[in-house]
């Protein structure tokens, strides 16, 4: 029971602290933002009650003091200023660190104290932490005795409760009726007015004037858990009602319920669904062979059953994929404190603006994004953003702005990290690349700025002049690209000198069934995502035009140079049988690489399948042009190519 409560507390506290940090940042930018103030107050109020229930006194004291200050803001008795904002932020950051300690060791650090934080918040240190639900009221208290008398239809040991919601509980985000409905094994409930209601002309619908009392057959800790968010407003007493004929219990079957499932179980379910897709593809392969000898009627019946199975498996895979979706908000809200601390250490003034944090992605992608985004943020702080004096000299505003935002584009999520700093120095970048032997001077001179900018992702590339906590240690942006590639995505950079740099991380929204077209090249079979192919066609030699050392064709009025897939893969071209087609014909895929088209010739086209695309690991994760792997119907591993990246 204790372990379950701690786990629930940690999970909830992380979410609420993330929300509190965001609300506080909003309040700093806009002190009159009442929505942010109310949200911050609700988070603080809930955290105070939860800390009191679990018994983390220091945390409860901090949130009690913070709630006092926020109540003054809500009543208009004071305005938020820099000192109060710093104190509230310190409280959020410190308690976030405490929560991680609780998650790791199951308890607060031994030196955890609220004295300094409470003092900075302008309150005296409280003696016993957040108020807890009283469990030692006299058994013969009038309200307990009255409940026992009216509950004679019940029998045995019970817990009596009397819940007196605060008058402003609606504004604090509390729903007294919903709170009581969550009481386990609720056997009796009585509602009364805290003070007599007046006439209709004096009735205030925004003030809670209720007292809710009742009896529960659940153990005391379970009832305490139900009231954990309002522990300071509840009295609890263990009592016994003499045996008597039982009265019907209130029907609570209609209450909405949520089911928490361990992430590992969902992962196992997703893996089983992937295996089911592979088995389905193997069946499709056998169906294709059976079509040659099976009677027509049987072949049609098998085809219909196969199509139905395809639909059902695809629907199952889609449903499991939606189960795994999580919002990016918890991930994004981990970064503002890091940016503040890092910027302060560098002597820079930076504001981090978040956007699109409601976008949802697969949990594995959200979990894997922290390190690459952290590296990009530190890179922007160290290399991109100028010192305040340099910005003022350049006529730029202070603080600098870094924007971290997400948006959905088709089946992809695009995460943008942009700063308004100095941008990439292309001349220095080319000098560094030449000095490190990444390319010859001639190659660098012929490169476009976009191609040269991409060199920053090469292993060992760095323009850092000295070793610091952030730079010059040989771990560069190549690690970012490798980690993003391992998630099935890609990263690119755009820059304008003096106006900043912009990194785009493109990732699949979820681990989905990839629609693949199989192609032959160099005697091997590869998969190519159908969405990356504009057309698959045949062209005659007469349609090709010599261009410099190669050939090109015109597709829908646009030129497309001809490239052999075997050449891109550095494989020997295989001899291709030409029976059934003109020997002068080439089989080509029309693909888009950047803003240009390319005609990629292959030895042959195969079937089209839907299959789970699994990211590559180990050495293969660093190989450019590989999106992942899948399984063919006959059990062979199919490597899936990123043709636009191969073209470069």
Residue 583's domain is classified under what CATH number? 2.40.50.180
- Tell me how far the alpha carbon of residue 462 is from its chain's centroid: 30
What whole-number percentage of the chain has pLDDT above 70? 84
Q: How confident is the model at residue 576 (pLDDT cuts 50, 70, 90)?
A: low
Please determine, for residue 228, whether its predicted confidence score (pLDDT) is greater than 90.
no
Strand 637-641, strand 524-529: pairing: parallel
Report d(CA 162, CA 193) in Å as an integer.
Answer: 12
pLDDT at position 402, please?
Answer: 92
Structure tokens at 70: 């926020």
CB 214 within 8 Å of CB 226: no
Q: How confident is the model at residue 404 (pLDDT cuts 50, 70, 90)?
A: very high
Assess whether 358 and 375 both reside in one domain.
Answer: yes
Residue 127 lies in a domain: no
Is 135 contained in some domain?
Answer: no
Q: Does residue 195 belong to any structural domain of this protein?
A: yes
Q: What is the pLDDT of residues 589-600, one digit of tens each?
A: 998 876 678 889
- 94 and 48 in one domain? yes
Which residue, of 508, 526, 545, is where some domain finishes? 508
pLDDT tens-digit readout, 163-222: 999 888 877 777 888 888 888 888 888 888 888 777 777 777 788 888 999 888 888 888
Res. 158: pLDDT tops 60? yes
Q: Are residues 367 and 457 in the same domain?
A: yes
Residue 536: inside a domain, yes or no? yes
Per-residue pLDDT for 125 more than 50? no
Same domain, yes or no: 90 and 190: no
pLDDT above 70 for 134 = no
Measured CA to CA, the distance from residue 594 to residue 596 in angstroms comes to: 6
In a domain, 247, yes or no: no
503 lies in the same domain as 373: yes
Determine, yes or no, domain membership for 639: yes
Same domain? 30 vs 56: yes
Cis-peptide into 630, omega within 30 deg? no
- Assess whether 355 and 406 both reside in one domain: yes
Confidence of residue 419 (pLDDT cuts 50, 70, 90): very high
Residue 193 sits in the same domain as residue 115: no
Q: What pLDDT, in 10s, does the model give residues 578-620?
A: 544 556 788 999 988 766 788 899 988 888 877 777 767 666 7
Q: What is the pLDDT of residue 470?
A: 46
**pLDDT (mean) for 30-47:** 82
| Per-residue pLDDT tens over the stretch 438-488 | 777 777 777 777 777 877 877 666 655 443 444 433 346 777 877 787 777
Q: Does 435 lie in the same domain as 349?
A: yes
Whether 459 maps to a domain, the answer reads yes
- Residue that finishes a domain, picked among 87, 120, 153: 120
Tell me: pLDDT of 128 over 80: no
Domain count, the chain: 5
**Pair (303, 445) in one structural domain:** no
- Whether the pLDDT of residue 106 is over 80: the answer is no
pLDDT at 417: 93
Residue 484's closest CA among 585, 565, 370?
370
Residue 254 has pLDDT above 60, yes or no: no
Residues 502 and 367 occupy one common structural domain: yes
Closest alpha carbon to 129 in 49, 224, 16, 44: 49
On whether both 361 and 483 belong to a single domain, the answer is yes
pLDDT-derived band at 621 (thresholds 50, 70, 90) equals: low
DSSP state of 570: T
Q: Is residue 547 situated within a structural domain?
A: yes
Kind of pairing between the strands at 550-555 and 533-540: unpaired
Our CA dihedral for 642, 643, 647, 648, rounded to 10 degrees, sits at: -30
Q: How far apart are CA 103 and CA 290, in angstroms?
A: 57
Which residues, in sequence order, are bridge partners of residue 327? Answer: 360
User: What CATH code is carried by the domain that includes residue 382?
Assistant: 3.30.565.10
Q: Domain span at residue 637?
A: 513-647
CATH number for the domain including 171? 3.30.70
Residue where a domain stops, chosen among 183, 211, 241: 241
Q: What's residue 155's pLDDT?
A: 67
What is the per-residue pLDDT for 511?
Answer: 63
The residue-averaged pLDDT of 340-351 equals 86
**pLDDT (tens digit, 9 = 90+) per residue, 487-508?**
777 888 888 888 889 999 988 7
């Amino acid at each position: 029971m204790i372990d379950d409560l701690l786990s629930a507390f940690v999970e909830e506290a992380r979410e609420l602290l993330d929300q509190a940090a965001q609300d506080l940042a909003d309040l700093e930018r806009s002190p009159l933002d009442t929505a942010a103030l109310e949200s911050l107050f609700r988070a603080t109020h809930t955290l105070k009650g939860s800390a009191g229930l679990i018994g983390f006194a220091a945390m409860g004291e901090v949130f009690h003091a913070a709630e006092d200050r926020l109540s003054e803001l809500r009543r208009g008795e004071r305005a938020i200023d820099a000192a109060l904002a710093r104190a509230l932020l310190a409280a959020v950051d410190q308690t976030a660190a405490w929560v991680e300690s609780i998650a790791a060791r199951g308890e607060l650090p031994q030196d955890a104290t609220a004295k300094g934080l409470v003092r900075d918040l302008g309150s005296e240190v409280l003696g016993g932490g957040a108020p807890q639900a009283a469990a030692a009221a006299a058994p013969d208290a009038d309200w307990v005795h009255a409940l026992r008398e009216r509950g004679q239809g019940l029998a045995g040991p019970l817990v009596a409760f009397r819940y007196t919601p605060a008058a402003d509980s609606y504004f604090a985000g509390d729903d007294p009726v919903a709170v009581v409905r969550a009481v386990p094994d609720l056997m009796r409930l009585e509602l009364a007015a805290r003070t007599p209601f007046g006439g209709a002309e004096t009735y205030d619908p925004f003030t809670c004037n209720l007292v809710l009392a009742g009896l529960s057959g659940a153990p005391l800790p379970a009832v305490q858990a139900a009231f954990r968010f309002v522990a300071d407003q509840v009295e609890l007493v263990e009592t016994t009602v003499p045996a008597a004929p039982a009265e019907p219990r209130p029907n609570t079957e209609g209450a909405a319920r949520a089911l928490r499932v361990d992430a590992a179980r969902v992962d196992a379910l997703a893996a089983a669904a992937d295996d089911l897709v592979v088995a389905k593809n193997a069946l499709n392969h056998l169906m294709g062979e059976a079509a040659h000898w099976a009677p027509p009627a049987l072949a049609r019946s098998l085809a219909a059953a196969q199509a139905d199975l395809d639909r059902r498996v695809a629907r199952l895979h889609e449903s499991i994929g939606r189960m795994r979706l999580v919002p990016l908000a918890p991930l994004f809200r981990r970064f503002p404190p890091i940016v503040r601390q890092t910027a302060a250490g560098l002597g820079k003034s930076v504001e981090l603006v978040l956007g699109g944090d409601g976008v949802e992605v697969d949990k594995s992608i959200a979990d894997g994004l922290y390190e690459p985004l952290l590296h990009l943020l530190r890179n922007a702080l160290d290399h991109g953003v100028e010192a305040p004096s340099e910005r003022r000299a350049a006529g730029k505003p202070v603080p600098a702005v870094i924007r971290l935002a997400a948006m959905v584009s088709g089946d992809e999520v695009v995460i943008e990290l942009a700063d308004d700093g100095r941008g990439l120095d292309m001349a220095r970048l080319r000098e560094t690349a030449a000095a490190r032997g990444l390319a010859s001077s001639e190659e660098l001179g012929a490169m476009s700025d976009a191609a040269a900018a991409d060199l920053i992702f090469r292993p060992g590339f760095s323009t850092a002049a000295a070793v610091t906590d952030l730079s010059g240690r040989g771990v560069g942006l190549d690690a970012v690209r490798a980690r993003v590639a391992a998630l099935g995505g890609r990263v690119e950079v755009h820059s304008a000198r003096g106006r900043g740099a912009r990194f785009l991380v493109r990732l699949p929204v979820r681990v989905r069934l990839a629609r693949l077209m199989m192609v032959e090249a160099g005697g091997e079979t590869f998969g190519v995502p159908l969405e990356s192919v504009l057309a698959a066609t045949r062209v005659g030699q007469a349609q090709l035009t010599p261009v410099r050392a190669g050939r090109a064709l015109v597709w829908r009025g646009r030129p497309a140079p001809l490239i052999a897939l075997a050449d891109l893969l550095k494989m020997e071209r295989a001899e291709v049988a030409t029976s059934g087609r003109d020997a002068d014909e080439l089989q080509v895929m029309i693909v888009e690489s950047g803003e240009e088209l390319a005609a990629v010739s292959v030895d042959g086209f195969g079937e089209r399948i839907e299959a789970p695309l699994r990211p590559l690991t180990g050495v293969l994760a660093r190989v450019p042009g590989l999106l992942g792997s899948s399984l063919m119907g006959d059990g062979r591993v199919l490597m899936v190519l990123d043709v636009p990246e191969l073209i470069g």
